[in-house]
Amino acid sequence: MNADAFFALSDHLNAELHGSEILFCNLSSESSDFVRLNRNRIRQAGHVRSTTLDLTLIEDSRQVGGGCDLSGDPKEDQARARGLLARLRERLAHVPDDPYLSYSVEPSESDHCGDARLPPIAEAIGELIEAADGMDLVGIWASGDIAEGLASSIGHRHWHASTSFNLDWSCYLEADKAVKSAYSGFGWDPAILRGKLEAMREGLHVMSRPTRILEPGRYRAYLAPSAVGELMGMLAWGGFDLKSHRTHQTPLLKMARGERSFDPRIRIHEEHDRGLAARFTPEGFPMPPRVTLVEGGRFAGCLVDARSGKEYGEPVNAASDGPGSLGLDAGTLDASEVPGQLDTGLWIGNLWYCNWSDPNDCRVTGMTRFGTYWVENGEIVAPVKVMRFDDSLYHLLGDRLENLTRERELLLSAETYDGRSTDSMLLPGVLVSGIELTL
């Protein structure tokens, strides 16, 4: 669905409102091709065309929300949306006043349409399979159009659309010996793909060496940006949202209470101005360019969505309680100097299946995965058998942090649970004097 069709549908619904009713319409739309690969061949391929309309109906201090799929046919969609609106109106009469109802009363507009240069997809998949000839490649290609829209009876009109591709894959040598890569964006260049595959071939060459099995204990380590991304993903789970802080559920509780801190070089921001995700909240609030979450290793501020903002009396600065455009500031370590600075220890390419083992102490457990090596005297000498770590971020980003790399990587989310994600992170690698391995 395009912007004009969405705004026309919104106008149609607004014309049906009764009395003092207020209506917010939010649209999520995607037209995606998905190609799943295994053993460098297509395992499953298809196309998904999906459009979801969310409505919030407000009258005085009461609100109800709901959603439905749209078909793309204007008449059919009007019927579906009107049917949903009728059900919401019916419910609205039976819900009490909502003290935390919050929406923007200021009309606003925005329009963002990203440029893209995508190839015919079958051709790109053919190039990939040809370039990866002889490799055991497994992964997912996802591409196509994504759009988000907001329109309200107050006068909000926002549209954010982009066309992109995201190729997320790994190449296996045997069992758990594998290297991982990703190529995503708005312009397809086969030369970049070939370069990444060449780097993976070199990684697999190292993987072919005998595996080093480590005993549990504390090891000096370098965590590549993808591994840091997993740790940031944990912090995203209750670390930064206002409600978790005010109800003492945040894993940064001790930091918020001033009892613990990260290293002073740790600065974490939500970078709304990155431009990949929409800059408006479902309730019509514009989002500031940046929100500082951790500054100088200390708690600086929270992400505040509309409802929590009303409950706790803070200005809205986010669409939801989790970050979507997280950034960790760079350090001073040149990426080319990482092996030498690490000297002897673990090079961790990725972490996997992280979870809080004790959120009160910001303690995370998880596994090493993909491209994790043992380094001696600044040289990669062997792949490492997968190991479990269990350690506190107050150590890894605090008293055991040695440096962060000067270079940062932009990691685009390959997640597709609720449609293709527009989340991203901009992260450096991290050198630590020790990470606790347990199993």
Partner 1 sequence: MQHLCDIADLFLSRAPACDYWTLRLVEEEHDHLEVRQGVVEPSRLTYSSGAMVTLVKDGGIGYGATSDLSVSGLRIATERAAGWAQVHARLGLFEAGIYPRSSTRADYRTPVEEPWSTLPIAEKLDILQAANDALAIDDRIVDWSAWLTRRRVSQLLITSDGGRVSQILDYVHPGLVAVANEGSQTQRRRGGGSDGSQQGGLERIVAVRLLEDAPRVAGEALALLDAPECPQDTRDLVLLPSQMVLQIHESIGHPLELDRILGDERNYAGTSFVTPGMFGRYRYGSELLNVTFDPTVPMELVSGVADDEGAPAGREYLIRRGILERPLGGPLSQARAGLPGTANTRASSWDRPPIDRMGNINLEPGEGSLADLIAQVERGVLMDTNRSWSIDDSRNKFQFGCELGRLIEDGELTGLVRNPGYRGISASFWRSLDGVGGPESLEIRGVRNCGKGEPNQSVYVGHATPPCLFRDVAVFGGGE
Whole-number minimum distance, CB 260 to partner 1, in Å? 9
Cα atoms in the Cβ-side hemisphere of radius 13 Å centred on 395: 15
Q: Look up residue 400 and give its two tokens.
A: 């055991």
Identify which of 396, 411, 227, 225 has the alpha carbon closest to the alpha carbon of residue 324. Answer: 411
Q: Report the alpha-carbon distance of residue 168 to residue 192 in Å, rounded.
A: 14
> For residue 329, which amino acid is it?
D
- The smaller minimum CB distance to partner 1, of residues 73 and 202, is found at 73
Whole-number minimum distance, CB 301 to partner 1, in Å? 20
- In our burial notation (b when 16+ CB lie closer than 10 A, e otherwise), range 381-394 reads ebbbebbebbbbbb
Q: Report the alpha-carbon distance of residue 148 to residue 316 in Å, rounded.
A: 19
Phi, psi for residue 15 in degrees, rounded to 5: -70, -15
Q: How would you classify the pairing of strands 268-270 and 217-223? A: unpaired
Whole-number minimum distance, CB 173 to partner 1, in Å? 12
In order, the DSSP letters of 111-168 are: EEE---BPPPHHHHHHHHHHHTTTSEEEEEEEEEEEEEEEEETTS-EEEEEEEEEEEE
Whole-number minimum distance, CB 420 to partner 1, in Å? 8
Whole-number minimum distance, CB 355 to partner 1, in Å? 5
Residue 276 gets which letter from DSSP? Answer: S
Q: Report the alpha-carbon distance of residue 224 to residue 228 in Å, rounded.
A: 6
H-run or E-run covering 193 = helix 190-207
Whole-number minimum distance, CB 239 to partner 1, in Å? 14
Whole-number minimum distance, CB 7 to partner 1, in Å? 20
Whole-number minimum distance, CB 313 to partner 1, in Å? 15
- In our burial notation (b when 16+ CB lie closer than 10 A, e otherwise), range 283-320 reads bbbbbeeebebbeebebebbbbbbbbbbbeeeebbbbe
